């Protein structure tokens, strides 16, 4: 197969991706509809995909003050994977959204589960201190009835124990 044939085949396969390669339009309100996926070419393999968003911003729902965080998204894909530009725009859409730190990580987790139905996913928010206190919420999910469900429980409780010792 010639390179041009391969490139053409890849373009055809990803025609449904509307954001990649086009002018970026940033939503001013929470916008889960911007999320897009593509097919995982290796669903038979277990492997991690990691995203870091060091410039995440949301608003405190009470005071309207901005909260800043690094959001980490780690997942083991199944059939669908999240397209990174759409994820960037989705995370940007929280900029004017009022939500507590814990709510942000759970909203992100739930939206990505609905979008991709991953084998496993975990979201961590490392929020910068405000008022002398920092909050680092963590949530995860493993596909029910699979080994990933047990992994989620194990990682949730081991994560809690690790953070207890690290915070001292």
C-alpha pair distances (Å), 27 with each of 16, 31, 153: 20, 7, 35
**Residue 60 known to be catalytic:** yes
Q: Using an 8 Å Cβ cutoff, are 86 and 7 in contact?
A: no
The active-site residue out of 46, 53, 60, 104 is 60
**Residue 104 known to be catalytic:** no
Give the active site residues. 60, 67
């Amino acid at each position: 197969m010639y390179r041009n044939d391969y490139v053409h085949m890849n373009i055809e396969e990803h025609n449904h991706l509307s954001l990649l390669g086009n002018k970026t339009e940033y939503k001013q309100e929470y916008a889960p509809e911007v999320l897009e996926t593509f097919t995982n070419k290796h669903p038979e393999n277990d492997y991690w995909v990691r995203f870091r968003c060091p410039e995440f911003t949301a608003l405190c729902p009470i005071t309207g003050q901005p909260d800043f965080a690094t959001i980490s998204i780690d997942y083991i894909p199944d059939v669908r994977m999240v397209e990174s530009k759409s994820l960037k725009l989705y995370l940007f859409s929280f900029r004017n959204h009022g939500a507590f730190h814990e709510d942000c990580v759970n909203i992100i987790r739930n939206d990505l589960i609905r979008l991709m139905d991953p084998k496993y996913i975990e979201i961590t928010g490392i929020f910068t201190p405000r008022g002398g206190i920092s909050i680092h919420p963590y949530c995860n999910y493993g596909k029910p009835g699979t080994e990933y469900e047990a992994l989620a429980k194990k990682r949730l409780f081991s994560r809690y124990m690790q953070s207890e010792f690290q915070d001292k």
